[in-house]
Amino acid sequence: MRAVVFERYGEQAEVREVADPAPPTGGVVVRVEATGLCRSDWHGWMGHDPDIVLPHVPGHELAGVVEAVGAGVTGWRAGDRVTAPFVCACGRCAECAAGQHQVCARQTQPGFTHWGSFAEYVALDHADVNLVAVPDGLAYTTAAGLGCRFATAFRAVVARGRVAAGEWVAVHGCGGVGLSAVMIAAAAGARVVAVDTSPEALDLARKFGAAHAVDATAGDAAAAVREATGGGAHLSLDALGSPVTAAASVAGLRRRGRHVQVGLLPEAAGGAVLPMERVIGWELEILGSHGMAAHAYPPMMELVRSGMLRPDLLVTSVIPLDAAPAALAAMGSAAGRGVTVIQPGS
């Protein structure tokens, strides 16, 4: 098969022929019809993920067709249209028994723990636990984003953030995750303030329901959020993952507000210095959010099916596999403008 491969961190990847994957016991091989280009892939390419072993094929946000089924799989067969969360849970540990598959103690992640979906085929573990059916009417380019960015934003806003109609929600970073969060929060009846450095990203945020847009280059973003919301957001998300955006997200909250950290903070950045005196004095909540389990997809999929949520509108670029190495490298400097999807077969 053809796949995007890198052999050194931070150096240009290339498209080459590699061996086809075999279905693991309990797992499947999926023919990749579409796969999202995510900032987490860039973090992996830069060497920020300890699970990656070189040479490596990135990609964790995918949709396609089951090509081959491993021993022990009972719920899926060749030809099924599927997607999957980027966290592939084992289904047997204590966390999985409690339904918290997204923090499975023995999780695997395509594109991190093993070769991923920037390829014509990808192997996925524990298919009966992790696969999600893609309805016939849902395009693969739309379904690909459900496995990471859109599902991650959905759980961060709805389950972890506990969004309520009428609340103010601030979203720091309007790439794929952030724009998804804007759309989901607005659909829930919240009033959204979008924060970014890119005018194009802020224009998209307005299109997807943001009531206010804050240019983070114009000054104190947290102060601008507090002014726009009349005292601070009830719920705020760092959807980018940087010390600056994490601290601004916390500082823009009102008393007893909730901060959800979604974007990854690489260890090289030294973590985030949060205003902990305000966290204590204002009784703020600091929450993490890590994807969404396959069994939690039905409410989100129903909202997509009904047209209340439109993840298809987030896809702003579709590229062939040959263009993926340059697009991956550009993620470190290019401003987010929606979701880029790779079609390996094109």
With H, G, I as helix, E, B as strand and everything else as coil, classify residue 247.
helix
- pLDDT, tens digit, 9 for 90 and up, residues 36-90: 999 899 999 999 999 999 999 999 999 999 999 999 999 999 999 999 999 999 9
- Count CA within 13 A, CB hemisphere, residue 228: 26
How far, in Å, are 56, 209, 317 from residue 342 at the CA level? 17, 26, 9
If asked whether residues 9 and 135 sit together in one domain, one would say yes
- pLDDT, tens digit, 9 for 90 and up, residues 278-327: 999 999 999 999 999 999 999 999 999 999 999 999 999 999 999 999 99
Tell me, what amino acid is at 264? L
- pLDDT, tens digit, 9 for 90 and up, residues 200-259: 999 999 999 999 999 999 999 999 999 999 999 999 999 999 999 999 999 999 999 999
Domains: count for the chain: 2
pLDDT tier, 271 (very low <50, low <70, confident <90, very high otherwise)? low
pLDDT given for residue 59 in this prediction: 97
CATH number (domain holding residue 93): 3.90.180.10
Tell me, what amino acid is at 134? V
pLDDT given for residue 334 in this prediction: 65
- pLDDT, tens digit, 9 for 90 and up, residues 26-46: 999 999 999 999 989 999 999
Nearest residue to 133 (alpha-carbon basis) of 30, 206, 25? 30
Share the mean pLDDT of the chain.
95
Among 247, 273, 288, residue at a domain's last position: 288
If asked whether residues 135 and 179 sit together in one domain, one would say no
Separation CA 292–CA 151 (nearest Å): 6
- The residue length of the chain stands at 346
Tell me, what amino acid is at 326? A
List 258's β-bridge partners, or say none: 235, 285
- pLDDT, tens digit, 9 for 90 and up, residues 165-184: 999 999 999 999 999 999 99
**C-alpha distance across the termini of the chain, in Å:** 13
pLDDT given for residue 346 in this prediction: 79
Between strands 81-83 and 285-288, the pairing is unpaired
**H or E element, residue 141:** helix 140-143
pLDDT given for residue 281 in this prediction: 98
Q: What is the residue range of 196's domain?
A: 153-288
If asked whether residues 254 and 313 sit together in one domain, one would say no
pLDDT given for residue 39 in this prediction: 86
Tokens, residue 53: 């072993």
If asked whether residues 28 and 108 sit together in one domain, one would say yes
If asked whether residues 38 and 167 sit together in one domain, one would say no
pLDDT given for residue 216 in this prediction: 97
If asked whether residues 57 and 175 sit together in one domain, one would say no
- pLDDT, tens digit, 9 for 90 and up, residues 113-162: 999 999 999 999 999 999 999 999 999 999 998 988 999 999 999 999 99
CATH number (domain holding residue 246): 3.40.50.720
